[in-house]
Chains A and B, each alone.
Chain A
């Protein structure tokens, strides 16, 4: 093995100055988030803030679920290359612990958010009466608790064992993680699907689409990889991770990002095309709400900026290896992920497309709290799994 292929020296910790400045940003965002939350709660239009907060909550939660999925599937497939970026995803997945807390305001605002089926008129709605076995408050909250607890536990456990291996280097831990990965993937797939049905699809409780859970899941994958790409670019700028986190890993993450752009578009298109073609009023109405009264701008924006533009931006090898181009694509996708969630949620509250400042407040609150929590939770830990048995393979990763 040539001399260049040694893991980075030292303890793998972030430099002190960086930890300090990033913590400042994290806590700053946290303070801003709390302020935004207070302002939103005291504001005039609480239903609007509730909707905006739901968008923000889904934004941070989907990123974290996607990150957890990445961690789990790397163990499941016994991947070698991904050891280098895995720790970053382990960090991002810790956001799920914040999400469990961030769900509480949603409970408070629930009657305003899911008012179509939680409100009184639901009892007189012939369709909703038939759905009461599923769409009722106790069951809804029980499911939410299951989702959030499963996610928080999995995120904690997978990270805990990975950190344990940092000090012991015990290969049995990898065995354990690999064995647990398969059932965990199944649990993640089911919980995120039903979370999507519950929290987003049931905003319009008459409407239904079997692919909706997969659509939300596609968003998880895309946004978490976009976040990962941004983190890699930032870390590599200061040469953190040295020759373990190289342009090759950045390239690989870029490929996944590109792949998930297409996957998201594929799932979105499948849903749209089949509903458009069959032209059944109960189904098409959902897209009508996202087309009339100015919403067509957002719909077309999704098509152009969530698919066409990033597809072209990330297609070439050069773009995936150039930190600035990759970061531009990832940044755009992250923003568009928020737009996507906004597009899913907001037309249920406002027939007309109006952007309002509370929409930003609703995003800032969960993002700020999650950022502050992550600063506290992860920044002091090593930036890669120090003694993972697959490190030699990760060092060899190469895109020919």
Chain B
């Protein structure tokens, strides 16, 4: 344990590793990022896009079938009235959380390394929320009446049920989506202006000119911008907690054994951040390679994210343990049964998949070798996302499938439409992400420039000598 592990050059106590490797100048940073938008798409990219879009078509097809035939096409029954639908919803909403955490909380904590990954993570958040939104939107059955979820004044005085956590979800998720989009867009403005200024074609100049809202990069502009950014960061910070808290209320306010437990809110939030960072790692590993951004999204960025995964994964493990302990300690037979049934009942395979993916495998991140190995990071990030899907499935289905009356006990199996819709949402997510990579700056160029040594007004980033002086002073 105590043996001093080999450290990345420069990352020793008192000295920070460089955030952008090589010999970058402001110009090369612009160049590296804007050229992705300006160059013609490669055949590989088009192939990828076509692949993603075909999965998206699977989603469209599943939805057409769903609307045409009704929710009955899913594998639900009277006992297990919620399964892959809400699992998919919570899965995607959870994934979104890394974006908000990186953009809001890490910003407030002055974590400068966030600048290379925040843009893509924020974009991912928005696409994940879109994928999540598909589920409740179509689960209402008549999707064209979806606006009924909002408290729209009407002649019949028909209101949504304000006491229902599902309605709180409507407010929580729509607020989250709105603020995430605002935050993302605000950050994009200076970079969009950069692309506008570099534009070689009229059309590009026009489109990015409109999108950049007349940004001129003036002193006054930057002053207002920084203030707005800070305020939005402050406002989004509670959102990191509130959205998944309300999602956890969907379950925890009920009296279903396995659902009603007070630790749910922070436990869900930790799980959401856990899965979100896993998805960011998965996407970033591919993106940095394909787009040639390895000097900006460095191994150290990935390593930091893997540490957050280890931390939040341990919190999730803590919650599993405490839930289990209190189920026993509480001495309520239904609770005790629910948890034993999770582990050893008909869905034992789901429970143990969840535990191994979420608690056991992430422990490998205790080792620096694993944290800095791209294949290991990639594999574990995917394992974590599988595990987090299982977590929601375990909570939802194993708690429901044993009803209070044994005659209503069932065993849920998904229908082909359950599966196709879930697979299809990946199509939506990936298509959107690929389009984002091509048409918008993937990395926040203006922010990256801000954390480079050249941007330090004191120009005293050469620690070594100064520090020695202090050490002996």
A262 contacts B238, CB within 8 Å? yes
Task: Give the residue name and chain of the A residue nearest to B254 (CB).
Answer: A278
Beyond A6-B473, A176-B2, is A213–B322 a contact (Cβ under 8 Å)? Answer: yes
B329 contacts A214, CB within 8 Å? no
Given contacts A271-B262, A393-B14, 16 further A-B contacts (CB under 8 A): A1-B460, A1-B466, A169-B471, A175-B13, A176-B4, A182-B366, A210-B326, A270-B245, A270-B265, A274-B261, A277-B249, A278-B253, A280-B255, A280-B260, A282-B332, A391-B467
B274 at the interface (CB under 8 A from A): no
Residues of A within 8 A of B254 (CB): 278
Residues of A within 8 A of B260 (CB): 274, 278, 280
| Choice from A6, A134, A186 contacting B329 with Cβ under 8 Å | A134
B252 at the interface (CB under 8 A from A): yes
A179-212 to B contact mask, C-beta < 8 Å, 1/0? 1101100100110010001000000000011111
Task: Give the residue name and chain of the A residue nearest to B472 (CB).
Answer: A169
In the bound assembly, the distance between CA atoms of A210 and B335 in angstroms comes to 12
A319 at the interface (CB under 8 A from B): no
Task: Give the residue name and chain of the B residue nearest to A193 (CB).
Answer: B322
- Residues of B406-449 at the interface with A, using a CB-CB cut-off of 8 Å, are none
The 10 closest A-B CB pairs, nearest first, are: A389-B14, A174-B13, A210-B263, A211-B262, A208-B330, A270-B265, A277-B253, A389-B13, A130-B331, A211-B263
A2 at the interface (CB under 8 A from B): yes
B344 at the interface (CB under 8 A from A): no
A275 at the interface (CB under 8 A from B): yes
Residues of B within 8 A of A131 (CB): 329, 331
**Number of B residues whose C-beta is below 8 Å from A?**
46
Interface residues of B (CB under 8 A from A): 1-2, 4-5, 12-15, 108, 110, 226, 238, 241, 245, 249, 252-255, 260-266, 314, 318-319, 322-323, 326, 329-332, 366, 458, 460, 463, 466-467, 470-473
Residues of B within 8 A of A46 (CB): none
Residues of A within 8 A of B319 (CB): 210
B238 contacts A189, CB within 8 Å? no
B473 contacts A274, CB within 8 Å? no
In the bound assembly, the distance between CA atoms of A214 and B108 in angstroms comes to 23
B238 contacts A7, CB within 8 Å? no
A171 at the interface (CB under 8 A from B): yes
Task: Give the residue name and chain of the A residue nearest to B165 (CB).
Answer: A277
B263 contacts A214, CB within 8 Å? yes
In the bound assembly, the distance between CA atoms of A387 and B252 in angstroms comes to 50
Task: Give the residue name and chain of the B residue nearest to A127 (CB).
Answer: B331
| Choice from A171, A274, A391, A392 contacting B262 with Cβ under 8 Å | A274
Residues of B within 8 A of A141 (CB): none
B470 contacts A210, CB within 8 Å? no
6 A–B contacts from the bound complex (CB under 8 Å): A171-B13, A175-B4, A175-B12, A210-B323, A274-B265, A396-B458
A400 at the interface (CB under 8 A from B): yes
A121 at the interface (CB under 8 A from B): no
Residues of A within 8 A of B238 (CB): 262
B470 contacts A391, CB within 8 Å? yes
| Choice from B13, B252, B261 contacting A78 with Cβ under 8 Å | B13
B322 contacts A172, CB within 8 Å? no
Task: Give the residue name and chain of the A residue nearest to B335 (CB).
Answer: A208
Task: Give the residue name and chain of the B residue nearest to A271 (CB).
Answer: B262
